[in-house]
Structure 1
């Protein structure tokens, strides 16, 4: 039974890494939002499994927050925002999809090399999950760096935060009040970002960050 618990935990955490690569591969905004919803679903399943394995009922609340907020509310709101902004098109990447995927593979390898020796004395579940969580965090950061569309950068930020939640639950979790406050902060940040996106769209008729940089350079 213990071996099954380990394998299931690692399978779910590894599933998050796989879905992170799927997000890196996406070149359509609506497709990216659908994959992010799947990312949040896998996170909710992983946290729920950790709640069962650790006998930590408060983690079920964390799983419910991830499922309701990140897998349903935020993707639906972003879908609505994309349709209103009229930007459901290809996502421009820095350097192309192929090199981005290769960099992602390198970051996962780096995570394993760094984290597994550092967490050698940790619980068996926590050790591999921390390495996989670091992979998710770095892949989210990579998405933020290589995407030129503001919405895809928001998705990268939220997938990075999913990796932080995975790391926290794998390492015996944070107090429930902290998890709820983090979820509330993400929701507030999402609302503020949405307001700024609409304002940017009204002012510049685009949310492509490269176009905004070109405009700034032209002003200078």
Structure 2
């Protein structure tokens, strides 16, 4: 692997972390879905580049799955759900955007500090990819915790799954059948979640989790 190939792989993985932070920053539903689509596109390019530098042709199929399903199909489906539910307004958060962003940066630093020492036997590119992947997973979990809207929590979960795919490709790839099953599982989950959200909307006229707690007589 040349230094240029390494630098490009490093840039793409780092770009995924940056886009994960942009997901945390979004306060509008449509903008959130658009940034998630960008997240999936960057993942697809990163996986394709890994396929090129490692001559792992099966990863090209993984990249195509990431692009078609996560970068196009799922965002379009979620846009449709958002339009049908009429929830394209601002996203309510548990804490403010600024504290969330600071915590996100801290999680990125923690991932690097924790992961690099425990992967000393791996190649340099695998070390950094795993550190970046852990950052993306933690940022996805943070998004799920700090967002009250169910759709934004679904986006957080899917961004977390993108981090797992990056980790698998950085560790010399995963069996293609596993990635296909994961992609279809996420797609099916979104269909089920969409139906579930429609039912919630019909019953309670909201998908805000705090409002749903109040409807049950609980404090948010």
Find the counterpart in structure 1 of residue 214 from structure 2.
Answer: 214
Partner Cα separation in structure 1 for residue 126 and residue 59 of structure 2:
15
TM-score by length of 2: 0.97
Is there any run of 5+ residues in structure 2 with no aligned partner, and where? Answer: none
Displacement after TM superposition at 1:94 (Å) = 1.1
Find the counterpart in structure 1 of residue 177 from structure 2.
Answer: 177
Find the counterpart in structure 2 of residue 42 from structure 1.
Answer: 42
Partner Cα separation in structure 2 for residue 78 and residue 184 of structure 1:
15
**1:129 matched to 2:129:** yes
Matched ranges for 1:95-110 at <5 A: 95-110=95-110
**Superposed CA RMSD:** 1.1
Find the counterpart in structure 1 of residue 160 from structure 2.
Answer: 160
Find the counterpart in structure 1 of residue 72 from structure 2.
Answer: 72
Displacement after TM superposition at 1:217 (Å) = 2.8
Is there any run of 5+ residues in structure 1 with no aligned partner, and where? Answer: none
Displacement after TM superposition at 1:209 (Å) = 0.7
Displacement after TM superposition at 1:62 (Å) = 0.5
Find the counterpart in structure 1 of residue 144 from structure 2.
Answer: 144
| CA deviation string 1:110-135 (max 9, x = no partner) | 00010000111101110001000100
Find the counterpart in structure 1 of residue 9 from structure 2.
Answer: 9
TM-score by length of 1: 0.97
Find the counterpart in structure 2 of residue 63 from structure 1.
Answer: 63
Displacement after TM superposition at 1:216 (Å) = 2.0
Query: The residue matched to 2:216 in structure 1 has which SS?
Result: helix
Displacement after TM superposition at 1:218 (Å) = 5.0
Query: The residue matched to 2:27 in structure 1 has which SS?
Result: coil
Partner Cα separation in structure 2 for residue 93 and residue 115 of structure 1:
29
| CA deviation string 1:84-138 (max 9, x = no partner) | 1111000011111000000001100100010000111101110001000100000
Query: The residue matched to 1:62 in structure 2 has which SS?
Result: helix
Which ranges of 4 or more aligned residues in structure 1 deviate by more than 6 Å? none
Q: Which moved more, 1:209-218 or 1:93-102?
A: 209-218
Q: Which moved more, 1:65-74 or 1:207-216?
A: 207-216
Query: The residue matched to 1:217 in structure 2 has which SS?
Result: coil
Partner Cα separation in structure 1 for residue 181 and residue 84 of structure 2:
30
Find the counterpart in structure 1 of residue 20 from structure 2.
Answer: 20
Displacement after TM superposition at 1:5 (Å) = 1.3
